[in-house]
């Protein structure tokens, strides 16, 4: 995570994805090796709880869903994540960074503004126009005050 931007590689979800991930995580659980796939499945299960999450990840190009519906992708990651607990989670520092970033009050306010007030370009343009008009009004007031003084 760099300056609040999380970079996740693209994954294509198809009919064989669950089988492959299950086999890879089972292999890692049986062997004494670094648990890349187990940590990835655990991490993605933490990110994906609802259809909205999958749709956002699809929009950002992180998930290419060939399964048919976003609900199937939710079920895939939630089912793979059941019973998984990586011995040494690779993404634990990323998760801590995400939680710290999320818990900062400025970031929460910024996200609220972006989601509720600046969700369309027209909203941003109208706020910019309002600020511009406010500045012009202040300048006009200052000029009027300066003209009154002899």
Whole-model pTM: value is 0.68
Half-sphere exposure at residue 108, Cβ-oriented, CA atoms within 13 angstroms: 6
Nearest to 2 by CA among 112, 109, 97, 105: 97
The β-bridge partners of 6 are none
pLDDT reported for residue 149? 67
Q: Which two tokens stand for residue 140?
A: 């006009």
The ranges assigned to domains in the chain are 1-103, 104-150
pLDDT reported for residue 83? 73
Write out the chain's pLDDT in tens, 150 residues: 667 688 889 999 999 999 999 999 889 888 888 888 888 888 888 889 899 999 999 999 999 999 888 999 999 988 887 777 777 778 888 888 888 888 888 888 888 888 888 888 888 899 899 999 999 999 999 999 888 766
Alpha carbons 28 and 18: distance in angstroms, whole number: 15
């Amino acid at each position: 995570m760099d300056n609040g931007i999380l970079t996740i590689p693209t994954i294509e979800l198809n009919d064989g994805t669950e089988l492959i991930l299950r086999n890879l995580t089972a292999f890692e659980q049986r062997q004494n090796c670094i648990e890349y796939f187990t940590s990835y499945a655990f991490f993605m299960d933490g990110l994906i709880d609802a259809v909205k999450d999958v749709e956002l990840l699809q929009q950002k190009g992180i998930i290419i869903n060939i399964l048919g519906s976003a609900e199937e992708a939710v079920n895939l990651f939630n089912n793979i994540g059941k019973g998984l607990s990586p011995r040494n989670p690779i993404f634990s520092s990323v998760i801590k960074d995400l939680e710290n970033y999320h818990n900062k009050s400025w970031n929460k306010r910024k996200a609220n503004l972006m989601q509720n007030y600046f969700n369309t370009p027209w909203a941003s343009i109208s706020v910019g126009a309002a600020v511009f008009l406010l500045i012009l009004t202040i300048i006009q007031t200052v000029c009027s005050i300066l003209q009154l003084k002899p």
